[in-house]
């Protein structure tokens, strides 16, 4: 099939886009979202946003290109969510936003304006760890620990939505989280044990 006959974007057309206007593909959707939310365009100066993070309302000013992860880590001092790949591939930055898991490195902070965000720092109640955190420690489900906050946030959300997951459901729930140390069997066991403990009220 010739290039002209192929449906969709041709290779040549794509390369032209890269040379001349890829910004229109990758950046403008976010700016459009921001424009719709504020009614006026955002930037180049800072934008003021409000987040409810782990139950506390926070008002911060962010550069419009700041990711939610950078806002959490660098402006709010919540460094539990890890910046590992910083491009949406590893899941180390997973947080719960309005009840759904999101990759904080792949979302603009201005697009989270008004949202409720839960991070690993918000799970423990005082000195008492969340059952998933306790199970990860008991089952040795971490080595270097860089992936661990993301795995735990994905697991916490799973158990909220499905208190009795099967092994396959556990594997699916954390399938967006990568562990280079290879702790997967321990993670699956920990989530299973946390589910059982939570059902008993633990």
Interaction site with ligand FES (CB under 6 A): 83-86, 88-93, 103, 105, 142-147, 179-181, 183
Closer residue to ligand FES in complex, CB, 12/180: 180
CB of 189 to ligand FES, least distance (A): 15
Closer residue to ligand FES in complex, CB, 92/152: 92
- Tokens representing residue 183 in the block: 């702790």
CB of 178 to ligand FES, least distance (A): 7
Q: Are 56 and 121 in contact (CB under 8 A)?
A: no
CB of 117 to ligand FES, least distance (A): 14
Q: Whole-angstrom Cα distance, residue 43 to residue 36? A: 13
CB of 92 to ligand FES, least distance (A): 5
Closer residue to ligand FES in complex, CB, 35/106: 106
Closer residue to ligand FES in complex, CB, 17/178: 178
Going across the sheet that includes 100-103, the strands are 56-62, 47-53, 116-118, 94-97, 100-103
DSSP class of residue 135?
H
CB of 150 to ligand FES, least distance (A): 8
Smallest Cα–Cα separation from 114: which of 98, 102, 99, 100? Answer: 98
Closer residue to ligand FES in complex, CB, 60/84: 84
| 3-class secondary-structure state, position 92 | coil
Q: Are 73 and 82 in contact (CB under 8 A)?
A: no
Q: Whole-angstrom Cα distance, residue 93 to residue 80? A: 8
């Amino acid at each position: 099939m010739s290039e002209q006959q192929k449906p969709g974007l041709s290779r040549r057309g794509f390369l032209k886009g890269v040379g001349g206007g890829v910004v229109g593909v990758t950046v403008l959707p976010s700016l459009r979202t921001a424009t719709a939310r504020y009614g006026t365009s955002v930037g180049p100066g800072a934008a003021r946003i409000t987040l409810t993070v782990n139950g506390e309302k926070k008002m911060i000013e962010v550069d419009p290109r700041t990711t939610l992860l950078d806002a959490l880590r660098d402006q709010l001092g919540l460094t539990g969510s890890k910046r590992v790949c910083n491009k949406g591939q590893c899941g180390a930055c997973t947080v719960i936003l309005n009840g759904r898991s999101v990759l904080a490195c792949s979302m603009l902070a201005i697009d989270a304006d008004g949202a409720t965000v839960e991070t690993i720092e918000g799970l423990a109640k005082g000195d008492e760890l969340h059952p998933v955190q306790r199970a990860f420690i008991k089952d040795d489900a971490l080595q270097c620990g860089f992936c661990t906050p993301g795995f735990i946030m994905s697991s916490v959300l799973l158990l909220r939505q499905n208190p009795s997951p099967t092994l396959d459901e556990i594997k699916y729930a954390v399938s967006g989280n990568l562990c280079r140390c290879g702790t997967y069997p321990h993670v699956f066991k920990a989530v299973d044990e946390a589910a059982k403990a939570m059902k008993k009220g633990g």
